Amino acid sequence: MNNKIVDLFYEKVEKSYKRMNSLPYRIQNVFQKTNYSWPGDWEGRALLSFMCLYEINGKKISCADEIVKQLNKHINSESYFGKEFDGEILDEQQIAGNSWLLRGLLLYYKNFPQENVKIILDNIVENLYLKGLKHFNRYPIQREKSSIGEVSGNEYLNLEGWKLSTDIGCAFIALDGISEYYKMSKKSSVKYLFEIMAEKFVKIDFLKINMQTHATLSGIRGLLTFYEATGEKKYLIYSRKIFQLYIEHGMTLTYENFNWFNRKDTWTEPCAVVDSLIIALKLYKYFKEDEYLKLARRIYFNGFSFCQRFNGGAGTDTCVTNNHPFLKIASIYEAVFCCSMRYTEGLLYIKNNIDLFDWEPQKVVKDNYGRYFSGDMLLGEIDDVGERITILASPIALFDVDGYHLIPILQINKIPKKLAVKIKQRIIF
């Protein structure tokens, strides 16, 4: 195994660990105000992140225990975040946010089993998701496409008993949490719930409604987890089919994502990049096709690695296409409220598959797009290749080819913010 690759990976882990130990994720800040528009999202992602790091390095961030101890002070009378569901209007941002709470609590319970945690898990599913079962049957997948939305989604439409988000389709992020809960509980009622949700999900015309890619990919991960729990092969086939749609229509030419399908002029989202990495690794495990391994490696070396910032957090980047060849930091240097936390789950999957990510300098090749690669590392030009940038980014190798001076996609986590936001790396087409 290339020691440089291992060292770079553990640098990412250490930076992420320090970020998750910092002020935004301390107990006095991690619980959001009751009117936060994504109930349970911040708290759940934080706990999930803490536990992913624990599984990577065996070091527990103290806030994990503090969240669990104080949870009952912040959740509602039915054990989840946000207003109690009235049986009439279901908020998809609440459905998505509390799914992250499920994920965080499930990973905590796996490592530190406590009956009070199990009770909260059961109550969340019973009182929110199962209670909202009939609403999933009528989730409005036939609707006008939307071209609105910011980095953080917000409510924009009430339709057919749903309060819908500009993060189009984010209700199906809950396929992730529900499948993990079913894997643990094996409750028949939860199996039925998942089947209803999945049946609706796979019928979505993702391109037609401009579905959010992160919601799509989290849904795929839910299908794969359910396949692992049940062995029902149709969920594996669904996963493969929808992921292929993402590869063809939702992935940038630097292996990040368009935030929504059919909206190439927006920005990337590290949460989705993490999801795509996990899916590629899982599909490689099940199908043993080299294309999935190549994709996982390219997502890691290029998209995933560029997402992490100097402070250990993660943020949005430009969507690189044939018409827009420059990779640079986009509208948000760091998405403190989501992507910095999710980044650690990607790190956990890399750690558990580290042998698949070995690399040595290889002959430069050119693909059908005109991109240059050394192995699975995408190469590009810096608009101002000064020694300062080159040294800070610590590229593994430099390549002079076809009149270009090329280096692998920069490790932005090595470059202080003031300099990083000015850097543009041009991908050759």
Please report which confidence band the pLDDT of residue 389 belongs to, taking 50, 70 and 90 as the band edges. Answer: low
What pLDDT, on the 0 to 100 scale, is given for residue 245? Answer: 98
Cα three-residue angle 212-209-204, rounded to 5 degrees: 85
What tens digit of pLDDT does each residue of 251-288 get?
999 999 999 999 999 999 999 999 999 999 999 999 99
- Name residues whose C-beta falls within 8 Å of residue 333's C-beta, 6 or more positions apart in sequence: 309, 315, 417, 420, 421
318 pLDDT above the threshold of 60: yes
E strands in 317-424:
326-327, 364-366, 372-374, 377-382, 399-401, 404-408
Spatial separation of the C-alpha atoms in residues 138 and 135, rounded to whole Å:
5
Say what the pTM is.
0.96
Percentage of residues of the chain with pLDDT beyond 70: 96
- Name residues whose C-beta falls within 8 Å of residue 40's C-beta, 6 or more positions apart in sequence: 80, 81, 82, 94, 97, 98, 99, 100, 101
387 pLDDT above the threshold of 50: no
What pLDDT, on the 0 to 100 scale, is given for residue 261? Answer: 95
CB of 102 closer than 8 Å to CB of 44: yes
Spatial separation of the C-alpha atoms in residues 102 and 83, rounded to whole Å:
17
100 pLDDT above the threshold of 70: yes
CB of 425 closer than 8 Å to CB of 328: yes
What pLDDT, on the 0 to 100 scale, is given for residue 149? Answer: 59
What pLDDT, on the 0 to 100 scale, is given for residue 392? Answer: 56
What tens digit of pLDDT does each residue of 117-134 get?
999 999 999 999 999 999
What tens digit of pLDDT does each residue of 243-257 get?
999 999 999 999 999
Per DSSP, the residues of 140-197 read --S--------SS--EEEEETTEEEESSTTGGGGHHHHHHHHHHHH--HHHHHHHHHH
Across the range 307-334, mean pLDDT stands at 96
3-class DSSP state of 69: helix
383 pLDDT above the threshold of 90: no
Other beta carbons within 10 angstroms of residue 86's beta carbon come to: 8
Query: What letter would DSSP give residue 128?
Result: I
Checking DSSP bridges between strand 364-366 and strand 326-327, what pairing results, if any?
unpaired
Domain coordinates of the chain in residue numbers?
A: 3-301+335-361
Spatial separation of the C-alpha atoms in residues 257 and 324, rounded to whole Å:
14
- Rounded to the nearest integer, the mean pLDDT of the chain is 94
35 pLDDT above the threshold of 70: yes
388 pLDDT above the threshold of 60: no
Across the range 186-197, mean pLDDT stands at 98
The residue length of the chain stands at 429
Q: Which class in CATH covers the domain with range 3-301+335-361?
A: mainly alpha
Spatial separation of the C-alpha atoms in residues 65 and 285, rounded to whole Å:
33
